[in-house]
Amino acid sequence: MPTTARHVAQLSQLREDRAQRVVVDDEKILLVRDGDTVRAYSADCPHAGGPLEKGALCRGRIVCPWHKGTFDAATGTVLEPPPLVPLERYAVIVDGDDVMVTPEKLPNETEPSRTEKPHFAVVGAGAAGAAACAALRESGFTGRITLIGDEAHAPYDRTSLSKFVPSAEMSPADVPPLLAADWFGQHGVERIVAKVVRLDVPKRTVHLQTGGELTYDTALLATGSVPKVPSIPGCELGGVYVLRHLDDAAAIVEALGDGPADGFASETAATASTQVAILGSSFIALETAAALRKRGVQVNVISPDKVPFAKQFGERVGAMFRALHESNGVKFHLGTKVASLEGEEGSVHEVMLEGGEHIAADVVLLGTGVAPATGFIEGLPLHKDGGVIVNAGMQAAPGLYAAGDIAVFPLRENEEPLRIEHWRVAQQHARIAAENMCGARNRYSGVPFFWTYYFGKTFEYLGHASEWDELLVDGDLDRHEFAALYVKNDEVLAVLACERDAQTARLIDAMRRGPLTRADALQIVGRESCGRG
């Protein structure tokens, strides 16, 4: 044990149901007690810096309060994304009631030697692709890994593109990568920047737009979605954008020009006069609307939906989201359709509605949904919506797996398979697929989760409910401090919450372990800690 160990706590004062943060020589360290054993890890989640002591410590799992990343309390290894790398570890001495920790990180395990066989190809370099590469090496795979994606950027946090980049709170250049810049080289992952134009499933061959091809032993398809461009006259005009890739976000920011990121008080004449029309009321559409208002841009949202998110959350909750946006200056045109986009000198200048109304627009964002990016696949029957049908182990065919937006998978027994277009679900899929590519026989048993962000408020959604019998709200919807339970046959299928980070960390752990009753969910919502049972 190094001589630099510092006294940090009394064993008798550490709780077994809650981690504790300490600082040792500027190192932020998390103490986790299990009986008479104490372990020390880095205190902030490696994904986005969430304070782990404010999450949950349940049944040997550390759950991050922000995005529900989960770690093994005994080892610090990743159990659930979005973090893709384990927690840093520190040496601990327990001497009687004294707990001492050294501030030097313990060394990581030595990298094993690499081999050329077998060859695994990961097609798609987004959230699922990055998660798969990390999980393959974590699972002990020493063969060749090729990651293929059509963006020059290494895998990055796509969720920032609609939440923080349009507001100027984050520049496109500062969108965080999912893995450190040197991770791919250190772990022997070859990156190919190219578009895949054909994947021959029977021959296990990938054909690239550049003319090259490669043969694989096993592949994971993780190509995500492509934005739907509606058949509206004028969509080809300049100033009309989709928002899927980092370059899309950069182009939109450039079109908007300089603008504030510190509220309406500092609006400039340029941004205040800029008018953006957003077609659709999807999550990306309304996140971008909120971000643009923070920038000081005038925003009109146009959608055939009568209430935003009514399908996902019900009309009562959808009305709350609309009111939140309207109170911050977003104008809605709902229950209406766009007839055309009109332009001058090749650039859009207004949106014409079917009812004859004209809405001025310097920029138009198409937030009209996405479709699975699967048009390049040959020799594999696809779902009617273009998705790739997989079993619970994420396998689509011999030697072929799929993850993320394209995967049509069984979420619950005795229910129709479905696609869920959540960023974190894509990473969950990828970890299951990677483990099974290495010989495991694991099944998807995770809890879907996503978070959406408007005007400084984060809303978390756990689980998935296509329909429900009852909506129970603990707290105040209008004040945006609540947990809303979506209940069917006394089972909580999903939870939408705001300002309930610690409670949702405990809820997602409970939902992972099996059906969650209404009574049990309400008990979790109303208590401060998690039992060890």
pLDDT, tens digit (0-9, with 9 covering 90-100), for 246-296: 999 999 999 998 655 444 434 444 455 789 999 999 999 999 999 999 999
Q: Which domains does the chain have, with CATH numbers?
A: 6-105 (2.102.10.10), 119-227+372-437 (3.50.50.60), 240-367 (3.50.50.60), 456-525 (3.30.390.30)
AA identity, residue 213? E
* Residue pair 103/132 in contact by the 8 Å Cβ criterion: no
Residue 530 pLDDT > 90: no
Region 364-370: what's the mean pLDDT? 95
pLDDT digits over 511-529, tens only? 999 999 999 999 999 754 4
Task: Note the pLDDT of residue 110.
Answer: 77
Task: Note the pLDDT of residue 156.
Answer: 97
d(CA 233, CA 230): 9
φ/ψ of residue 412, rounded to 5: -130, 150
Region 168-197: what's the mean pLDDT? 96
pLDDT digits over 288-335, tens only? 999 999 999 999 999 999 999 999 999 999 999 999 999 999 999 999
- The closest alpha carbon to 524, from 501, 498, 504, 499, belongs to 504
Task: Note the pLDDT of residue 265.
Answer: 39
* Residue pair 402/388 in contact by the 8 Å Cβ criterion: yes
State what percent of residues in the chain have pLDDT above 70. 95
Cα dihedral sign, 252-254-260-264: negative
Give whole-number Cα distances, 155 to 10, 176, 179, in Å. 42, 9, 7
Is the peptide bond between 118 and the residue preceding it cis, with omega within 30 degrees of 0?
Answer: yes
Mean pLDDT of the chain: 94
Task: Note the pLDDT of residue 3.
Answer: 57
Task: Note the pLDDT of residue 267.
Answer: 47
pLDDT digits over 117-173, tens only? 999 999 999 999 999 999 999 999 999 999 999 999 999 999 999 999 999 999 999
Task: Note the pLDDT of residue 111.
Answer: 78
Q: Residue 75 corresponds to which tokens in the numbers above?
A: 């080892």
Cross-strand partners of 147:
122, 191
**Residue whose entry in the numeric block shows the structure tokens 């200056």:** 329
Task: Note the pLDDT of residue 533.
Answer: 29
pTM: 0.93
* Cα Rg, the chain, nearest whole Å: 24
Region 69-93: what's the mean pLDDT? 97
SS3 label, residue 533 = coil
Task: Note the pLDDT of residue 415.
Answer: 87
Sheet holding 213-215, edge to edge: 213-215, 205-208, 196-200, 377-378
pLDDT band at residue 103 under the 50/70/90 scheme = very high
